Amino acid sequence: MVIKRVLIVGATGLLGKALIENCPANIQLFVTYLRDCWKGALPCPSMRLDVSDRQEILRVINEWALPDIVIHAAGIGDVDFAENNRSLSRAVNVEGVNNIINACKEGNIKLIYVSSNAVFDGKTPPYAEDSSRRPVNYYGHLKVEAEDLVLKSGLNCCIVRAVLMYGWHFHQSRANKVTNWIRSLSEGKEIYVVNDRYSQPLWVEDCSNLIWEVANQNKLGVYHVSGNDRITLVEFAQKAAEVFGLDGGLIKSVPSSYFPQIAPRPVDTSFLTKKIRDEIGFCPVGIIEGLQRMKKASERAL
């Protein structure tokens, strides 16, 4: 399959930004946004798109972009918001995926869907691509439902499950843990970070580069991508402070029970990443290298 045109749905998020910046030179890129403030602000052809609007999706995909591949990176990613706003979250995270599937079927277009470690319960890590999915919150249930729609669609499709991503976001976009920590510590504020939840923080450019490899190598099926280190969140915050030269003494280690949360979180959804290493030849960086690359990056979002 020769790839000439690619559409990114959800280009204004953290991953969307990295996908734009790392797009191969031989690909004509089209992207979508939701809020009107993005009109004319993106560095490639762009169009407003509400994924819950089926007719709008058909028009954007099959009349405007005419892509060989759709990379679907849009959605409601706030776990607590999803738990408390179930109707809206399902309309976007499930029905929106179904709308994109139907448009891809009409145009015989390959779909790459970005999913999450939230499909797992965190009780029996590490998780392979074929491990049983048992989400512990509503957001995770929506991701499972969306994955099933993609896998049963009959399309040429690929699902990339990613873990906690960090990096520089667009100024108008939602912050991530590292940018929030940097902002607070730079202002001399204490931050409280949990010590009983584990992750494999993923430098966002690694995620974007893997997706472009999946596209270029015409891979199908499910792939896991995560950073190369397993660490608690408070240890991650301490590493970020160290790399950015900030006061780690402002970081307070607390149990997850310290925060009154709407939605439960899994304890440890660490991934096995053997498949991307063996089949794609891809090895994500560790935390220190990822943070150092972030520090060296010219883009600033604070």
Q: Is the pLDDT of residue 301 over 70?
A: no
Within 8 A by CB and 6+ apart from 86, the residues are 138
Categorize the per-residue pLDDT at 142 as very low, low, confident or very high, splitting at 50, 70 and 90: very high
Q: Is the pLDDT of residue 266 over 90?
A: yes
Among 156, 138, 154, 129, residue whose Cα is nearest residue 70 = 156
Specify the pTM.
0.96
Q: Which helix (H) or strand (E) holds 288?
A: helix 287-296
Percent of all residues in the chain with a pLDDT value above 70, rounded to a whole number: 98
Angle CA 271–276–279, to nearest 5: 145
Residue ranges per structural domain of the chain: 5-168+202-230+270-286
Q: What share of the chain has pLDDT > 90, as a percent?
A: 92
Architecture of domain 5-168+202-230+270-286: 3-Layer(aba) Sandwich (3.40)
At residue 60, the pLDDT reads 97
Please, which pLDDT band fits residue 300 given cuts at 50, 70 and 90?
Answer: low
- Cα–Cα distance for residue pair 269/289, rounded to 1 Å: 22
pLDDT tens per residue across span 209-238: 999 999 999 999 999 999 999 999 999 999
Give the mean model confidence (pLDDT) for residues 93-97: 98
Q: What is the mean pLDDT of residues 171-182?
A: 93
Q: Kindly state the tokens that stand for 135.
A: 């989400």
Residues whose CB is less than 8 angstroms from the CB of residue 179 and which lie 6 or more positions away in sequence, other chains included: 166, 168, 169, 301, 302
Closest CA to 165 of 25, 279, 7, 13: 13
Reference 135, options 161, 99, 174, 160; nearest CA is 161
Q: What is the mean pLDDT of residues 132-161?
A: 98
Mean predicted confidence (pLDDT) in 191-218: 97
